Structure 1
Amino acid sequence: MMTKQHKLKGGARALLRAHFLANVGKIMDSHELRAVSGDISEWARRVRELRTEEGYRILTHNDRSDLKPGQYLLETAKPQPAFERAISKETRALVLDRNGFTCQMCGAVAGEPHPYDPTRKTRLHLGHIIDKSMGGTDDATNLRAICSVCNEGAANLTLPRPDLLKLLTQIRRATSADQLEALRWLITKFPKQTREFLP
């Protein structure tokens, strides 16, 4: 028996699919897509499902530099074959474990309240570092953990600047190589101040 939630999910996705297919090659914005979905709060998740589960090449500003944040474009009406979209459970587990079950964009931890939307618990997904439309692969080296907020419409917003505690937390969670890269950047940005700390 289908629940009301499943009907809403399927209905919104079907509405969005039909709208994208009726507007192939046309740039649409988030306000338009939210309205098409019936104003549901998780419209961006339905768009993502069209990309990841059904294989439609719906592009965003992460895929093409000529698209602005909050703009979407269905490149072609023909979805990618399923075998080109599958990421194995083993790869998924490897990437989530490697990333410490932490969003690599905002630092939110799986299961905890999201720092930028405390009403939601953090849910992690896999995101491509180099998008498949730009030649990226489903290999673990091209995947990272991303939370729902960063992966959905909220990713198109400018997030507030982190305070010192959040920033230090992110640096501590980073790999040694990334910490060294951050140090190099800080030394380049603050050469005069750096000399004060060196013997």
Structure 2
Amino acid sequence: MNEKKPREKGSKAKLREYFVANVGKVLDAETLSKVAGKSEWGRRVRELRNEEGMNIVTHNDLSELKPGQYLLVNLKPLPAFERGISKETRAFVLDRNGFTCQMCGAAAGEPHPYDQNRKTRLHLGHIIDKSMGGTDDAANLRAICSVCNEGASNLTLNRPQAIKLLAQIRRAPSADQLDVLRWIVKKFPLQAKNILEE
């Protein structure tokens, strides 16, 4: 009689369980990489946050965290969005880009030029991020390898100066200004408290 082997958990399921078991604790990138057992753990964390609505924050969201640190704030789910890129669009973009990363030029399946221990795996990346109003249209997508994709969230165009940011905030409706204020207070709670006490 053939008994079925229990199915092994995928890296996303392992990460989900680990975050839930450590809710409220700061976790580092090295630990999460070991838990996932794969090099693309960062992508899986983004999927947990963006597609499943897990309230995972980084140094971009909370000033007390350092780069490479993650925190599941609580178990209350946030609004999530589904992947909206069809197989046809994916195939079109990869073919249009010659199955090469548009950031470093690595070709799919070949050893990666910056990490010889990995074969190049291509993903689709947004030129203008969805959080900035970008769409899933082929014109806003490009082929990007997993190595560049893991660092892409840290890349920005020229960072705006404070005077330009303030000008934009002043032009925004009051409701949007309050959203900015809430985000700043949430990211810098200690500094906000000190400023209010001055």
TM-score if structure 1 supplies the norm length?
Answer: 0.55
After superposition, the Cα gap between the structure-2 partners of 1:91 and 1:121, relative to the gap in structure 1 and judged at 3 Å, is same
After superposition, the Cα gap between the structure-2 partners of 1:95 and 1:45, relative to the gap in structure 1 and judged at 3 Å, is same
Q: Shift of the alpha carbon at 1:14? A: 2.4
Partner residue of 2:134 out of 133, 136, 142: 136
Q: Which residue in the other structure is 1:14 paired with?
A: 16
Q: Which residue in the other structure is 1:78 paired with?
A: 77
Q: Shift of the alpha carbon at 1:52? A: 6.3
**When you count helix as a share of all residues, which structure comes out higher?**
1
Q: Shift of the alpha carbon at 1:81? A: 5.0
Cα RMSD (Å): 3.9
Q: Shift of the alpha carbon at 1:50? A: 2.3
After superposition, the Cα gap between the structure-2 partners of 1:11 and 1:51, relative to the gap in structure 1 and judged at 3 Å, is closer
Q: What percent of counterpart residues are identical?
A: 61
Asked whether the 8 Å contact 1:128–1:143 carries over to 2, the reply is yes
Instruction: Map Cα deviations across residues 70-125 of structure 1 (whole Å, 9 max, x no partner).
Output: 3557799535555x422101110111111111111211100111111112111101
Q: Shift of the alpha carbon at 1:144? A: 1.1
Q: Which residue in the other structure is 2:144 paired with?
A: 146
Structure 1 residues not aligned, in runs of 5+: 159-199
Q: Aligned partners of 2:104 and 2:123: how far apart in 1?
A: 13
Q: Which residue in the other structure is 1:30 paired with?
A: 29
Give secondary structure in 2 for the equivalent of 1:7.
Answer: coil
Q: Which residue in the other structure is 2:102 paired with?
A: 104
Q: Shift of the alpha carbon at 1:146? A: 1.1
Q: Which residue in the other structure is 1:95 paired with?
A: 93
Structure 2 residues not aligned, in runs of 5+: 156-198
Give secondary structure in 1 for the equivalent of 2:124.
Answer: strand
Q: How does 1:46-57 map to 2 (within 5 A)?
A: 46-51=44-49, 54=52, 56=54
Give secondary structure in 1 for the equivalent of 2:9.
Answer: helix
Structure 1 moving runs of 4+ over 6 Å: 73-76
Q: Which residue in the other structure is 1:126 paired with?
A: 124
TM-score if structure 2 supplies the norm length?
Answer: 0.55
Asked whether the 8 Å contact 1:126–1:144 carries over to 2, the reply is yes
Q: Shift of the alpha carbon at 1:54? A: 3.6
